[in-house]
Chains A and B, each alone.
Chain A
Amino acid sequence: MAEEKGFEVLNPFLSIDLGIADWADGIKAWATANRDMVQPIKWLVNDLIVTIEGVMQAIPPVAMLGIILLIAWQAAGFRMAIFISMCLILLGLSDPNAWSLAMTTLAIVATSVVLCVIFGLPLGLLAGKSDRFEIAIRPVLDTMQTIPAFVYLVPVVMLIGIGNVSGVIVTIVFALPPIIRLTSLGIRQVNASVVEAARAFGASPRQILLKVELPLATPSIMAGLNQTIMMALSVVVIASLIAVKGLGNEVLRAMGRLDAGKAIVGGFGIVILAIVLDRITQGLGRTGRERGHRHWWQGGPVGWIVRIGQKFKSKDVATD
């Protein structure tokens, strides 16, 4: 090793410094300087989160349980709904605070996922349609999925500040890629001859997208949504580092105090939420026909209501 920084042929990297780290640190300064610019957007997203969380916290746990049961029944069938209810009851029993914390986490995850769908679906469609865009976006998605969250945690906090909104942004960065990838894949997998037939019968590009490509890509898109939700849940502990409340925060605090019991309660709650959301969205991805009835409105609680409605109608006809 030379005392002075001479150029070494066998290890040239040691003597060359392009100053990337300093340059990137400039982003932090830029972020701090431009805080005011993003404040309106921050309030908008924050309001959304606060509203969703407010509603979820306001609904009594038993009523919420009933609502989730009905949704799960419609989406995934009666037996799955019973299983999901058992899981949620277990979650509520695990700790007096667990239910409320879970609702907070659910609100954050729901907001992130809604935003992921709003951004991800059009981007995925574009990537499915255009090879160039697909090639361009692929390294971006790879980066988003693999870069450690701690890398962008600091600039995001500098720009927006700690709290729910930063948490949602961090979550989106991590959870957005699957829905883009699987939407693109779904569009690309649509049988080309079916699209050609639609064209031959005079369908416009918009009609082909809405009537042929999107319906046929739905199972794949739903798989993407499912993965996005799972990703979003897996990042809640990291998000709690920047003061996002909920189950993740419980795990973080328990870790600080070396409280294994509390950590398990929090971690267990995240797992149960993941199972519940996974089963419901997987159910959505399956068509009504795969579950043995012809249309989605012929099964589940909606099916019951429809059938009761029809009975009343036929009674009316009979009495006439």
Chain B
Amino acid sequence: MNAETTNDSVIECRGLWKIFGSRAEDAMQAVMQRGLSKDEIRDQFGAVVGVQDASFAVGHGEIFCIMGLSGSGKSTLIRHVNRLIEPTYGEVLIEGQDINSLNETDLRALRSTKIGMVFQNMALMPHRTVRDNVAFAQEVRGVSKDERYETADKAIATVELGGWEDRYPDELSGGMQQRVGLARAIAADPHILLMDEPFSALDPLIRRQLQDQFMELAAEMRKTTLFITHDLDEAIRIGDRIAIMKDGALVQIGTPEEIVTEPVDDYVKDFVAGISKLELVTASRVMQSVQEYESVAGDIEISECPVAAPDDNLDALVDMSVDTNHPIVVSSDNQIVGIVTKRALLRGIQGRLYDAETDSASVAGN
């Protein structure tokens, strides 16, 4: 992952800390010098740790999900990215620029031009029409009425709310209100989208629709997106990469497949336990090398075996495997790169990866 922490990352947080409380500075010093834990900080300084030592980088056009339960600090973390909250320690870089060094005017310019934000509770302005809500970022920047209404109407059409421009937010359903929220965020054509649990307050069917709509839009617009959610399914559906957050710290950062197949600790393991691996895990994750297979099970008759590509998911492997007793051969560019036994496949569906030590013995026993 560190390879991506390079200059071309659009959002980058380095060692970010946020401690709430009147003695936050003292607590921070104590952390630096003595390495206090979260509980020790609370007991000694009466301060609450919101974010502890968070570092991550989001590349251009990437959708980066931060997943955690309520109270894990994810909403606090995302508010550092447009400096709605000042960090106690650490840096936030937007396109290489440290935003905590910006003055008020430059910060406001950054917020109104480069960053769009969507809120869990919509936070639409009840006294403004849909159009005036969507045009807000441009209005505060001083764009002329005709121009900002034109771009606002375009954004409203993008989220398929044409015809509702002159309505007020309370005349719209929850799902429609959040689409207005999304339109407001993209109207000024920002580089970065901050989504703070945007679909959490919606009922499941509407949530699904909005997720689909958002993914379509995201594929089209290629905006760098920081997406907060407490729903791992949502994070897996939407995210290119996922960070798991617990008690203010980022526990694990990785692709959905990595998170699901290689959880770093029991906390993450608990999370991913209920997630279906069928569409997430690929053949390359569960296969063993040909030599390994042959050393245990003897020579393989390639011609009889079904053939899969390395990035075929488990669901596809199951389809191939049901009508044959032979293992599946994984080949890439006409080269055999590995073998997936039925055992490895079933273990893969369970979420356990092929393990040479334990599994080879049992293969021999077959």
Q: Write the residues of chain A forming the contact surface with B, with a CB cutoff of 8 angstroms.
A: 191, 193-194, 196-204, 207, 211-212, 215-216, 287, 289, 294
The complex places the Cα of A215 from the Cα of B110 at a distance, in Å, of 26
Report the minimum CB–CB distance from B214 to chain A (whole Å).
18
Q: Does B141 contact A (CB under 8 A)?
A: yes
Of B104, B126, B140, which contacts A201 at CB under 8 A?
Answer: B140
Proximity string of chain B (109-133) to chain A, C-beta cutoff 8 Å, 1 when within and 0 when not: 1111101110101011111000000
B84 touches A196 (CB 8 A): yes
Q: What is the number of residues of chain B that contact chain A, defined by CB distance less than 8 Å?
A: 29
Q: Taking chain A's interface residues, is the majority helix, strand, or loop, or is none over half, making it mixed? A: helix
Closest A residue to B109 by CB, please name it. A202
- Contact A203 B123, CB 8 Å, known A196-B84, A197-B117, A289-B168: no
Query: A203–B127 contact, CB under 8 A?
Result: no
Beta-carbon nearest neighbor of B127 in chain A: A215
Which of B108, B113, B119 contacts A203, CB < 8 Å?
B108
Do residues B84 and A200 form an inter-chain contact, with CB atoms below 8 A? yes
Q: Is the CB of B121 within 8 A of A193?
A: yes
Known: A196-B84, A212-B125, A216-B126. A204 touches B119 (CB 8 A): no
Q: How near does chain A come to B167, taking the closest CB pair, in angstroms?
A: 9
The answer, among B126, B136, B188, for a CB contact under 8 Å with A198, is: B136
Query: Is B123 a contact of A193 with CB atoms below 8 Å?
Result: yes
Say yes or no for B246: interface residue by CB 8 A criterion. Answer: no
B282 at the interface (CB under 8 A from A): no
Contacting A200 at CB < 8 Å: which of B82, B109, B125?
B82
**B184 at interface, CB cutoff 8 A:** yes
With both chains docked as a complex, state the minimum distance between the C-beta of B119 and any C-beta of chain A, in angstroms. 6
Q: Which residue of A lies closest to B121 (CB)?
A: A193
CB distance from A131 to the nearest CB of B (A): 15
> Across the interface, do A196 and B123 meet the contact criterion of CB distance under 8 Å?
yes
State whether B123 touches A197 (Cβ < 8 A).
Answer: yes
B307 at interface, CB cutoff 8 A: no
A211 to B168, CA, bound (A): 16
Residues of A close to B136: CB separation below 8 A: 198, 201, 203, 211
Given contacts A193-B119, A204-B108, contact A199 B140 (CB under 8 A): no
Nearest CB on B from A293, distance (A): 13
**Most central of A196, A202, A216 by chain B CB within 10 Å:** A202
Cα–Cα, bound, A202→B111 (Å):
5
* Given A194-B124, A198-B140, A200-B115; 9 other pairs, CB 8 A cutoff: A197-B117, A201-B136, A202-B109, A207-B140, A211-B136, A211-B140, A215-B127, A216-B126, A216-B127
